[in-house]
A and B are shown apart, each in its own frame.
Chain A
Amino acid sequence: MTAQTFFIGFFGVAAVWFGIVVFRTFSMVRSALALLFSQTALGAMFLSMQVEFLGVLQIMMMATEMTIMAIFMVMFMMDPGGLGKMDMTHQKRLSLAVGIVSFVAAVAVAVFIDWGPLASTAPDAAQQTVDLGLELLGRSMLIFETAGITILTSMIAAIAVAIQPLKRNDKS
């Protein structure tokens, strides 16, 4: 039990630390990859909490997403290497306010909601996957189907907006 608590705490602190690095560094790519490792630490936290599927999924998805974010940062931010040491932060007061409000809300949700009876042990990982699958195809099917269709629609819309009209003799 104590080993588990230790690891949850350790990965939690690591996630927060990497999150701080995101804003302290001048280099855009370091910023993006620090966010990546912050998410990986979160995934490791899930694994420490014995939520295996979600932990592995978090680790896998965030790596891909954050590296794609890295390339967008290189494209649209000047000085992606951070050599100019320019302060790129904006709207500090607003983001501080939003951050504090979200933190308070998250803590309130965690503490005050009735999450149901406490299980004495976490179910077996294979059993968790089965339960998750049944949940996805049962009670939560509408949510995930809607989310899936929404994502697909936004992908198609993004491509349609980004694509340039094909030239007449473009054979590529």
Chain B
Amino acid sequence: MITGARLGTLTGFRRLIASAMSHDLNVFLVPGPDIARAQGLDIESSGLQPVASPRHANVLLVMGPVTPALQEATAVIYAQMVRPRSLFVLGAQDLSSLPAADVEAELSQQGLIEGVNRLRRVFSESAFRPSISDFDVPILQIRIEYTCSMHPEIVQDEPGSCPRCGMFLIPREVQSMAEHRHMNHQKINTDAEIPVTFTHNHGDHQHDASMEYTCPMHPDVVQNEPGSCPRCGMNLEPRESQTESDHDHHHMDHADQGNMNMDHDDMGFMSMIDVTKDLPRSEDGLPMEWIDAPFGPFFPGLPGGLLLLLTLDGDAVARSETHCLSENTELVQSPSMEPPNFIERLTCVNPLSPIAYRLLACRALEHAAGIDISAETARARIGALERERIASHLGWLALFAQQTGFDWLMRRAASLQLKFLTAEFQQIKVLKPSVLALIKRLQQTPLLKSRTANIGQLMADIVSYGPVARAAGIDNDARNDDKICVALGFTAVKQIRNDVLARLQVRLDEITHTLMLIEAADAVVVPVSNTVGKISSSGEARVETPRGMAHLQLTLENGQVMTAQLDAPSTYHLNLINPMIDQQELGDALMAVNSLDLSPWEVLQ
């Protein structure tokens, strides 16, 4: 029985429709298709069809880690889905703000397929129900706030008049719980330091018999005393009557009102250009209305868990704010952890590159304990790390292709990534030609270079790691210091131009180079922890994850891990977003954000 059924009784025609629905399962993925692929799930081959908008979906598939902040977002997504809707959960999750899961299964391809079969039965049996319940959670409440049409930065909770121009405020609906993410509207007009009021200035004027007051926007409203326009509420402006045409304007205080220059022509008419003078202007000069649009955290083209709050001027980005809703707080569960538990914890921190983090934990522990590992084990570990690098880059290619609407690349890269995730050494050799063919065909795609060149350019003096840095020619690859890597023939792959095309090129070249490294390493074995005695010391390690260098420092006391600090590349890359996408067109901005290959999971608050 699905809780998200539609109202109705299951008879006749509806039965036919319900069985049609059970064959047409459209799924919205939480936290995202990149996480699904990274966990080895092949969504399409299980019979589910991924869609981009929750309105088109009838299954909400929750897999992977869902933090409390993401739970709220998931509840909003669930509320946006149209009935009949169902909730399909893979793996154990604590989802308190959502209704009970309709189908639960384990987090594997087997579990997925078996869960889909159950889901089909559930749909054809209970898509329509005679009585249904509503879904309401606190996050969905809205409240009304009041804003001025001419001064969008003025926001109040009560109806009234704008303190700057006097116009009636118009109502607007906003999310009631959005305080912590509410953009500070006061900052839009930077020269609005002094709120300008007119009324006290008018007290200085003598009430001349020939003085008339008119509304700047409605010149046919004429009064003999100051006040508000009955039509729009704006404060009336003094205007000399026709008998004193040579009247000097200077004592009318117009010069003091920096922001409200009312240019009157002979008719007392204010053109629209002047009315919109206060509205913020963008660089290209086109004064479109500014809209706030959130992109994320489950946006189809962006990494799952990343929330981009963009203020769009038309379709150019005027302001942006990034949040990672997938916050991981403490690495070490107090008071201390056993080393094997710690390694497992670190492996789960970043579902997009678990092996790299596992290796990081193992190396840090071995460094603390002073354990040396054999060259053969080291090589096999490097093989595993490099295999994950290829899988991660392929996953990035699939996400990039999804965002740029490049279907064949998305399908091909996704299928190769799934194969690479668990490929044995021999299988990698078999897969090599397909990967090289993909890269070659990609580089020959006609419009790709023009689409990606000169977009997402970064300044040269920023802190970055991994492929983002190497695309700018900066080589801070951690593998340069690893003797075994260098012995296998590692050299860093670099580009010069610092744009999306360069980052794409770097990752493609890295895939080719990595294939060679794996062959030289001659084995692929996931890192296994060695036993650490009851020692007390500190250790650190650096590993070149697919996104850049990650640095772990930990302290051991009596064989237990007491503290740990992780420095991950995505934390730095988050700060690169705002300057990079400023004033860019929306499609370019999203592509630039994608090119950084962020993993919101490894960003620690």
Which A residues contact B (CB, under 8 angstroms)? 74-80, 83-84, 86-87, 90-93, 162, 164, 171-172
Contacts and interface: CB of A to CB of B under 8 A. Distances in A.
B156 interface: no
Interface string B281-298: 000111111000000000
B232 interface: yes
Contacts of A90: 218-219, 269
The A interface is mostly helix, strand or loop, or mixed, namely loop
Nearest to A84: B170
Contact of B272 (A77, A83, A91): A77
Nearest to B273: A76
A110 B518 CA distance: 87
A76 B232 contact: no
Contacts of A91: 219, 267, 269
Contacts of A75: 286-288
B289 A74 contact: yes
A87 B221 CA distance: 12
Given A74-B289, A92-B220, A172-B454, A87 B232 contact: yes
A86 B284 CA distance: 29
Interface of B: 149-150, 168, 170-172, 218-220, 231-232, 267, 269, 272-273, 275-276, 279, 284-289, 454
A74 B276 CA distance: 12
B149 A74 contact: no
A79 to B, nearest CB: 4
Contacts of B286: 75
Nearest to A87: B231
B353 to A, nearest CB: 34
A82 B331 CA distance: 52
B233 to A, nearest CB: 9
20 contacts: A74-B289, A75-B286, A75-B287, A75-B288, A76-B272, A76-B273, A76-B287, A78-B150, A78-B275, A84-B149, A84-B168, A87-B218, A90-B218, A90-B219, A91-B267, A91-B269, A92-B220, A93-B220, A162-B285, A164-B284
B170 A164 contact: no
A79 B150 CA distance: 8
A160 to B, nearest CB: 14
Given A74-B289, A91-B269, 19 more contacts: A75-B287, A76-B273, A76-B287, A78-B149, A78-B272, A78-B275, A78-B276, A79-B149, A80-B289, A86-B231, A86-B232, A87-B218, A90-B219, A90-B269, A91-B267, A92-B220, A93-B220, A164-B284, A164-B285
A80 B454 CA distance: 35
Nearest to B151: A78
Contacts of A74: 288-289
A172 B457 CA distance: 13
A76 B286 CA distance: 9
A79 B285 contact: no
Contacts of B218: 87, 90
B286 to A, nearest CB: 6
